[in-house]
Chains A and B, each alone.
Chain A
Amino acid sequence: MLSASALRDRPSGRLADNVLHFTRVLRKAGLPVGTDRALLALEALRVAGIESREDFRATLRACLIDRGEHRALFDQAFEIFWKDPDLLAQVMRLLLPSAPGRTAGGSTVDANRRLATALSGQMLPAPEQAALIVAPSWSDREQLRKVDFDTMTSEEWLAAQRVVAALDPFLARIVTRRSVPDERGTRIDFRQLLRNTARHGGHIAVLPRRRPRTRPSPLVVIVDISGSMSRYSRMFLHFVHALTS
């Protein structure tokens, strides 16, 4: 494999292409990886080198994800993407119903349809097609009403997530007896005022204010998270999250 110094001499080329390619796969699988993160990854690889696969993965991981729960998806994508350079053949095997993904990544690979869709997207050279899918319209939403969560593709899943996230929280917030500092608050914070005044030799510079603290009303949700229900419960949790936040 290439050492750090050799890599520095040739910053572009196949590796850069592949890393960018990889970030696109991640993005399609639903991970929010921006261009800046891809550039950061390239910069980091230049520093860290790619002598060992473990370091290569750690470098990409430090740069490309920013949430604990994305680790599993990242690792799966990494396994599939970087094990076999012949991506196309890999994807074909993934998609064939008779050979359910017993490929490079091991048994967990076939479980993730979102990832499979993301990888398959690489085969379509037409960005216009992707643009068509992204634009949400009433008919999409109409369709989403009837689609089973378990059989959704990643686009549908993301679209459903967006629909859910756009819901207004309608659970009222409870006004508590306690208050929090707030510049635009309604009450004057006399205690703080006194402390500030004492510190500033009796002068009043600003009037510190507070407002009553609010908190979401308590909501108890009991969810079955076992394998067969995981897609449903996950979407349900998105729904609950949208209601309460």
Chain B
Amino acid sequence: MESRLPASIDATHELLLSRDYVADRALTTAVYLALKLERPLFIEGEPGTGKTEIAKVLASALGAELIRLQCYEGLDVNLAAYEWNYARQMLEIRLGEAAGDSREKIAANLFSQEFLIARPLLRALEPHPTPPVLLIDELDRTDEPFEAYLLEVLSDFQITIPEWKTVKAARPPIVVITSNRTREIHDAVKRRCLYHWVDYPDAAREFAIVRRKVPDAGEALSKQIVAFVQALRQLDLYKLPGLSETIEWGRALLALDALALDPQTIDDTLGVLLKYQDDIARVRGSEAARLLETVAAKVG
């Protein structure tokens, strides 16, 4: 395993690139530090900028298992860390009673691994041949009590199960936490992590990503796509198109056999880029044509 961990920032860049993830230098550095220092990596940024993708890419590049914890409001310990299998425990008691076992004997075995259902957090701490990648996705969707619960997991890589014992990871998992910033995450959580804010990529990087993700689109069309999306991000829209929208749009245009952007095609496929009716209504028609002109002037 050690040999698969990148030895330098450049090696980290290569590793990510081998899975078609074009990261900028700052993100690469943060990832490298997270791997080296065995610290969780906390990634914030706009939706669709590749936050979740980084965990998937890391897992596949390192040959590690990806354990994903999707957060939502009301997520509790039972669903995130562990749960006792009450039904089986009841059954065990009945069987014990039927066999005439003593009360102590039944109680002794009741809280053991056999009756424990491991949920993502606990699974990430169990022994693995390669430390797994634990993705805690959209942490901002949970509530604060759950954040507090995470502190023990993130700082000591352990979970205390009161009825049983403290489970500690022999080797810490690689933890990636993402947040869309619908609310502020508590400082106590962030303090335990390395922080990185993912921006929308600049034109050069976005072009490199489109070329890798939609290789069939051709260089000219890719350039136009990127220039158009970059111009679109300058507008005052409710939800700006992310990187994933750019890629989807590229694929959509490819499916429509478009060789170059024209006003009609843009109007037809605008729904792939923009997800709010108000935004679409604003851009469709004359605004799109104007953007296309500036794009044509720039790209040639």
A residues touching B (Cβ–Cβ < 8 Å)?
A: 32, 34, 36-37, 40, 43-44, 47-48, 54-55, 57-59, 61-63, 65-68, 71, 180-181, 199-201, 203, 205
Which of A43, A44, A57, A203 interacts with B86 by CB under 8 Å?
A203
Chain B: number of interface residues, binned into ranges: 20 to 34
- The answer to whether B42 and A47 touch across the interface, beta carbons within 8 angstroms, is no
- The answer to whether B25 and A58 touch across the interface, beta carbons within 8 angstroms, is yes
B98 at interface by CB-CB < 8 Å: no
Chain B neighbourhood of A181, CB < 8 A: 74, 76
What's the dominant secondary structure at chain A's contact region?
A: helix
- The answer to whether A203 and B90 touch across the interface, beta carbons within 8 angstroms, is yes
- The answer to whether B187 and A58 touch across the interface, beta carbons within 8 angstroms, is no
Shortest B218–chain A CB gap in Å is: 32
User: What's the Cα separation between A54 and B29 when bound, in Å?
Assistant: 10
Which of A37, A61, A68 interacts with B44 by CB under 8 Å?
A68
- The answer to whether B191 and A62 touch across the interface, beta carbons within 8 angstroms, is no
**B82-96 contacts to A (CB < 8 Å):** 86-87, 90-91
B residues touching A (Cβ–Cβ < 8 Å)?
A: 9, 25-26, 28-30, 32-33, 36-37, 39, 42, 44-45, 73-74, 76, 86-87, 90-91, 181, 187, 190-191, 193-197
Residue of A nearest to B32 (CB): A48
- The answer to whether B191 and A48 touch across the interface, beta carbons within 8 angstroms, is no
Which of B30, B33, B190, B195 interacts with A47 by CB under 8 Å?
B33
Chain A neighbourhood of B195, CB < 8 A: 61-63, 65-67
A-B contact pairs, 18 of them (CB 8 A): A32-B187, A40-B39, A44-B33, A55-B9, A58-B28, A59-B29, A61-B195, A62-B30, A62-B33, A62-B194, A62-B195, A67-B195, A68-B45, A180-B73, A181-B74, A199-B87, A200-B87, A203-B86
User: What's the Cα separation between A68 and B200 when bound, in Å?
Assistant: 13
User: What's the Cα separation between A34 and B187 when bound, in Å?
Assistant: 11
Residue of B nearest to A57 (CB): B26
User: What's the Cα separation between A157 and B49 when bound, in Å?
Assistant: 34
Chain A neighbourhood of B25, CB < 8 A: 54-55, 58
Report, nearest first, the 3 A-B pairs whose CB atoms are least far apart: A58-B29, A66-B190, A200-B86
Chain B neighbourhood of A55, CB < 8 A: 9, 25, 29
- The answer to whether A66 and B187 touch across the interface, beta carbons within 8 angstroms, is yes
Shortest A193–chain B CB gap in Å is: 13
- Decide yes or no: A62 and B9 within 8 Å by CB, A34-B191, A200-B87, A205-B86 being known contacts: no
Instruction: Please indicate which of the listed interface residues B29, B90, B197 has the most CB atoms of chain A within 10 Å of its own CB.
Output: B29
Shortest B188–chain A CB gap in Å is: 11
- Decide yes or no: A62 and B196 within 8 Å by CB, A68-B45, A180-B73, A201-B91 being known contacts: yes
- Decide yes or no: A48 and B9 within 8 Å by CB, A63-B194, A181-B74 being known contacts: yes
- The answer to whether A201 and B197 touch across the interface, beta carbons within 8 angstroms, is no
Residue of B nearest to A198 (CB): B87
User: What's the Cα separation between A123 and B249 when bound, in Å?
Assistant: 55
Shortest B49–chain A CB gap in Å is: 12
Which of A58, A59, A66, A205 interacts with B42 by CB under 8 Å?
A66
- The answer to whether A43 and B44 touch across the interface, beta carbons within 8 angstroms, is no
Given contacts A68-B45, A200-B86, 8 further A-B contacts (CB under 8 A): A58-B30, A59-B33, A62-B30, A66-B42, A66-B187, A181-B76, A201-B86, A203-B86
- Decide yes or no: A58 and B26 within 8 Å by CB, A48-B9, A66-B42 being known contacts: yes
User: What's the Cα separation between A68 and B43 when bound, in Å?
Assistant: 10
Chain A neighbourhood of B197, CB < 8 A: 68, 71
Chain B neighbourhood of A48, CB < 8 A: 9, 29, 32-33, 36
Chain A neighbourhood of B187, CB < 8 A: 32, 66
Which of A32, A44, A57 interacts with B37 by CB under 8 Å?
A44
Which of A58, A63, A68 interacts with B181 by CB under 8 Å?
A68
Shortest B116–chain A CB gap in Å is: 15
Residue of B nearest to A68 (CB): B197
Shortest B120–chain A CB gap in Å is: 19
Chain B neighbourhood of A40, CB < 8 A: 37, 39, 194
Residue of A nearest to B143 (CB): A180
- The answer to whether B90 and A201 touch across the interface, beta carbons within 8 angstroms, is yes
Instruction: Please indicate which of the listed interface residues B28, B42, B181, B190 has the most CB atoms of chain A within 10 Å of its own CB.
Output: B190
- The answer to whether B191 and A201 touch across the interface, beta carbons within 8 angstroms, is no
Shortest A187–chain B CB gap in Å is: 15
User: What's the Cα separation between A200 and B89 when bound, in Å?
Assistant: 9
User: What's the Cα separation between A44 and B74 when bound, in Å?
Assistant: 36
Shortest B268–chain A CB gap in Å is: 35
User: What's the Cα separation between A200 and B83 when bound, in Å?
Assistant: 12
